[in-house]
Amino acid sequence: MKKRLIWGLLLCLTVSGAAAGTLLQEGSASAEPSRFQVNGISLGQTKTAVVQKKGEPVSIVKDRLLGTEEYRYRDAKVGFYDGRVEYISLAAARRYMSLDGKLVGISRAGLTGVFGAADYRAEDGMVFIQADTAFKAYTDPETGAIVSVDYFFGDET
C-alpha cells in the first residue's frame, strides 16, 4: 500500500493540471489481475505466475526504500510489491508491445489508436487512464519522442 501511494504521488507530481489528484482515491488495493495483459503479464499477478510465463529474469533489482523488487527481462521490467505485479515498464526501443495479444506500436500513433486522446499531459509524458489502471508514455524533453511506457495501478478504489 505504501509503495502504491508513493507511485501515485510521483505520478501526480508529473501530471499537470488540478485533475491530477483524481488518479488516486482512498480505498482497498485489489490484487486481482487487471484488464490488460502487457507482453503476457497482468498487474496483480504473482511472481510465480510471471516466472512460469516468462522464465527467470535476466536480473533482479531490489529497492529497499520503496520495498519493491524489479524483474528485468529482455522485453520488459516487471515491478513487484508484496509479491504481486505493481507495474510493467517497456522501453520504446522495443518499438512494439503486446497488448492482450495484439501488437501495438510504442508511439503516439500506436497509443492514441488504442486509447484515444491522452487523459493528461505532463512535462515528461502523456497518461491514459483505463479504469483503475493507467498507461504513462514518458517522453524525451528535447525531442518529444516516447522513450518508455509504464502500466500501473492508477486508482486505489
Q: Is 83 contained in some domain?
A: no
- pLDDT tens digits, one per residue of 26-83: 333 444 444 799 999 999 999 999 999 999 999 999 999 989 999 999 999 999 999 9
The pLDDT value recorded for residue 156 is 54
CA 47 – CA 52 distance, rounded (Å):
9
The pLDDT value recorded for residue 35 is 74
Mean of the pLDDT values across residues 142-156?
Answer: 88
- pLDDT tens digits, one per residue of 75-84: 999 999 999 9
CA 90 – CA 156 distance, rounded (Å):
23
Give the chain's domain count: 1
Q: Is 46 contained in some domain?
A: no
b/e for 116-141, b at 16 or more Cβ within 10 A?
eebbbebeebbbbbbebbbbbbbbee
Mean of the pLDDT values across residues 88-97?
Answer: 92
Residues written for the chain: 157
Q: Which domain holds residue 126?
A: 2-41+89-153
Q: Is 63 contained in some domain?
A: no
Q: Determine the Cα angle at 100 with ends 96 and 84, to 5°.
A: 100
pTM for the structure as a whole = 0.77
